[in-house]
């Protein structure tokens, strides 16, 4: 019996012209979103590659200079020396022998590789640079590239598949289902059907199953197409496990919207009022609530503006310099080229600059820590309030699955901080020892390798959102399911 009604309903859906138009629009949106998401990730990857290539080129240039210099020393005899700041280009040891110069004037770019699904949910990855320069300079360089904005607020900005799933798929579902029962009632066919041996529950279930099948085909089909066209790492198990979780989250989200349509149909009046009520709920859950939660997060835990951070850093720098320099020293510090020949002061100043950087870092570090803390608190608040709207749960889930969550970024940053220390340690030690860098040393510079979050952690972070959506779905479904038992077809 179910099969019969399902095939009938499917035929009805297929013969509804308006649904075809919406379906075509939806497919168009999915294709555009795939392209746009893919483009966004591609840009990030290209940007990272360009930066890495550029900096590697600089270092390569320095290495070649040291090779030339080494050959010269070999031929002419003499000592392989360390370049002072006042070296004359073309003669004497090149700058590349000075660890301080190499460590400070070239950067090592560390990159956060996108997961295979990143293009499907760009999330916050377009505001958090996935490649950061690491040099002897302060951690300022690490964080100054961060957009100081609420992540949830910005997360809704990109037109990616996640946007289509969260915003547009519910509209499509509601367009198919807002009049599930009411249209049959209004047409008069409900009485015709229910005069046959079939219960309202069976009828409702068949209607949902046939519509869900259409949605499933669209989501699975186009999700897969999107993954294959703009996803990466298709050969890895990681990508496919993430994709399975992505589908699971999407199904739970869609199930909620179907359940909502059923609920409104059981208690609602006519199709027009059902449509209005459902559109209102969509607006509240998908547009207004996430905005409110975002506003709440930024109001309760405001982050300092970028301007404040920059000014604070400048003040710290001025303060640090004031403490240990005379007016003349200050002048020489700024104009190393005027330091009298043979005066070792130039080297002292470079050492000072190192010390200076460290003290500035110490001074501004609390500010950045505070900034990061506020961001974490915002994130925690959003996590806590996500249960107010399935759209928030879904966004968090999709970001988590796609590896574009704030959490994965922080995981990356923590490794970056460690690497930064490693880099500083390597170059400043060699610099302070006046150790001349040799061509072979260029191969032993510290390297950054991002350690991916363990998959268990991703799942653990997904559980609250997925569970929240499941409970919401069951709750919304249960009410009409029970009510339909005593559904009265006719009223007075």
Partner 1 sequence: MLEAINLKKTFGDYDALKGLDLKVNPGDIYCLLGANGAGKTTTINLFLNFIHPTAGKAEVCGIDVTEQPLETKKLLAYIPEQVMLYGNLTALENLRYFAQLGGHDYTETEYKSFLDRCGLQSGAYIQRVHQFSKGMRQKVGVAIALAKQAKALLLDEPTSGLDPKASNEFSALLIQLKGDDASILMATHDLFRAKETGTRIGIMREGRMMQELGTDDVSHADIERIYLEHMHGDSSKYAA
372 to 411: interface string for partner 1, x by CB under 8 A = ----------------------------------------
478 close to 421: Cβ distance less than 8 angstroms? no
Tokens of 187: 């047409």
Provide the minimum distance between the beta carbon of 195 and partner 1 in the complex, in angstroms, as a whole number. Answer: 4
Site for partner 1 in 76-135 (CB under 8 A): none
**Closer by beta carbon to partner 1, 162 or else 175:** 175
Q: Distance between CA atoms of 34 and 40, rounded to whole angstroms?
A: 10
Residue 433's φ and ψ, nearest 5 degrees, are -80, 0
Name the strand (E) or helix (H) holding 129: none
* Beta-carbon contacts of residue 425 (< 8 Å; ≥ 6 apart): none
- Minimum CB separation from partner 1 for residue 271, in Å? 15
Local structure of 437: helix, strand or coil: coil
- Is residue 363 within 8 A of residue 320, CB to CB? The reply is yes
What is the distance between the alpha carbons of residues 342 and 334, in angstroms, rounded to a whole number? Answer: 18
List beta partners, residue 133: 109
Which is closer to partner 1, CB of 196 or CB of 449?
A: 196
Calculate the alpha carbon distances from 142 to 58, 139, 468 in Å.
20, 5, 35
The nearest distance, CB 476 to partner 1, in angstroms, is: 26
Rounded to a whole number of angstroms, the minimum distance from the CB of residue 24 to partner 1 is 19
Instruction: Select 188 or 340, whichever has its Cβ closest to partner 1.
Output: 188
* Tokens representing residue 492 in the block: 């007075």
Give the residue with the Cβ less far from partner 1, 78 or 197. Answer: 197
CA angle 417, 422, 428 (to 5 degrees): 120
Which residues in 1-20 contact partner 1 (CB under 8 A)? 1, 4-5, 8, 11-12, 15-16
Of 21 and 305, the one with the shorter C-beta distance to partner 1 is 21
Least separation in angstroms between residue 375's CB and partner 1 is 54
Q: Give the x/- contact pattern for partner 1 in 176-205, rule: CB under 8 A.
A: -----------xxx-xxxxxxxxx------
How many residues bind partner 1 (CB under 8 A)? The answer is 26
Nearer Cβ to partner 1 (145/189): 189
- Per CB under 8 A, the segment of 110-118, 310-318, 347-355, 481-489 that binds partner 1 is 481-489
Nearest to 43 by CA among 119, 149, 143: 119
Binding flag, residue 31, partner 1 (CB under 8 A)? no
CA 241 to chain centre: 18
Nearer to partner 1, 451 or 491 (CB): 491
Please identify which residue in 25, 50, 467, 489 interacts with partner 1, judged by CB under 8 A. 489
CB of 239 to partner 1, least distance (A): 43
Contact 139, 231 (CB under 8 A): no
Site string for partner 1, 276-315 (x = CB under 8 A): ----------------------------------------
Nearer to partner 1, 9 or 400 (CB): 9
- Using CB under 8 A as the criterion, what x/- string covers residues 433-472 for binding partner 1? ----------------------------------------
Q: Six-digit token pair at 312?
A: 């604070």
One DSSP character per residue, 176-199 reads HHTTTTHHHHHHTHHHHHHTSS--
- Mapping DSSP to helix (H, G, I), strand (E, B) and coil, where does residue 73 land? helix
Q: Which two tokens stand for residue 445?
A: 């510079």
**Which CB, 9 or 441, lies closer to partner 1?**
9
Between 444 and 491, name the residue whose CB sits nearer to partner 1: 491
User: Which letter does DSSP use for residue 433 in this model?
Assistant: T
Within 94-203, strands assigned E span 108-111, 131-134
Cα dihedral: 255, 158, 404, 227 (round 10): 70
> Which residue is it, tokens 């509209």?
171
Look at the block and give the residue holding tokens 């909620």: 256
- Decide whether 449 or 492 has the Cβ nearer to partner 1: 492
Q: Which residues lie near partner 1 (CB under 8 A)?
A: 1, 4-5, 8, 11-12, 15-16, 187-189, 191-199, 486, 488-492
């Amino acid at each position: 019996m179910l099969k019969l009604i399902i095939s009938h309903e499917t035929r009805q859906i297929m013969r509804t012209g308006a649904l075809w138009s919406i379906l075509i629009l939806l497919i168009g949106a999915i294709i555009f979103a795939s392209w746009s998401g893919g483009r966004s990730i591609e840009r990030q990857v290209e940007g990272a590659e360009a930066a890495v290539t550029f900096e590697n080129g600089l270092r390569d240039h320095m290495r070649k200079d040291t090779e030339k210099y080494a050959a010269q020393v070999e031929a002419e005899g003499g000592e392989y020396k360390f370049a002072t700041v006042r070296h004359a280009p073309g003669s004497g040891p090149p700058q590349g022998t000075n660890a301080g110069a190499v460590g400070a004037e070239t950067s090592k770019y560390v990159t956060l590789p996108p997961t295979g699904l990143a293009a499907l949910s760009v999330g916050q990855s377009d505001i958090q640079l996935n490649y950061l320069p690491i040099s002897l300079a302060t951690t300022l360089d690490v964080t100054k590239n961060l957009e100081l904005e609420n992540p949830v607020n910005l997360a809704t900005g990109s037109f990616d598949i996640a946007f289509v799933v969260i915003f547009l798929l519910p509209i499509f579902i509601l367009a198919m289902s807002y009049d599930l029962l009411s249209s049959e009632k209004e047409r008069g066919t409900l009485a015709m059907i229910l005069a046959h041996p079939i219960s309202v529950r069976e009828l409702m279930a068949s209607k949902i199953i046939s519509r869900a099948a259409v949605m499933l085909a669209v989501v699975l089909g186009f999700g897969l197409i999107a993954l294959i066209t703009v996803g990466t790492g298709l050969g890895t198990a990681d990508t496919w496990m993430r994709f399975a979780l992505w589908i699971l989250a999407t199904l739970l989200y869609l199930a909620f919207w179907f359940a909502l349509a059923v609920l409104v149909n059981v208690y609602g009046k006519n199709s027009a009022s059902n449509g209005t009520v459902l559109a209102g709920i969509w607006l509240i859950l998908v547009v207004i609530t996430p905005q409110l939660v975002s506003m709440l997060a930024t109001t309760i835990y405001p982050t300092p503006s970028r301007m404040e951070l920059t000014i604070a850093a400048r003040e710290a720098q001025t303060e640090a310099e004031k403490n240990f320099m005379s007016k003349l020293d200050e002048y020489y510090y700024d104009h190393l080229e005027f330091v009298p020949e043979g005066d070792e002061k130039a080297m002292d100043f470079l050492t000072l600059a190192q010390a200076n950087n460290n003290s500035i870092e110490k001074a501004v570090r609390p500010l950045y820590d505070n900034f990061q803390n506020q961001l974490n608190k915002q994130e925690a608040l959003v996590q806590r309030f996500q249960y107010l709207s399935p759209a928030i749960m879904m966004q968090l889930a999709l970001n988590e699955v796609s590896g574009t969550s704030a959490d994965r970024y922080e995981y990356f940053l923590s490794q970056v901080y460690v690497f930064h220390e490693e880099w500083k340690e390597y170059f400043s030690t060699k610099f302070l020892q006046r150790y001349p860098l040799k061509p072979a040393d260029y191969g032993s510079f510290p390297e950054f390798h991002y350690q991916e979050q363990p998959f268990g952690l991703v799942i653990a972070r997904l559980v609250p959102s997925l569970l929240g959506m499941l409970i919401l779905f069951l709750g919304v479904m249960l009410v009409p399911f029970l009510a339909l038992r005593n559904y009265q077809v006719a009223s007075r």
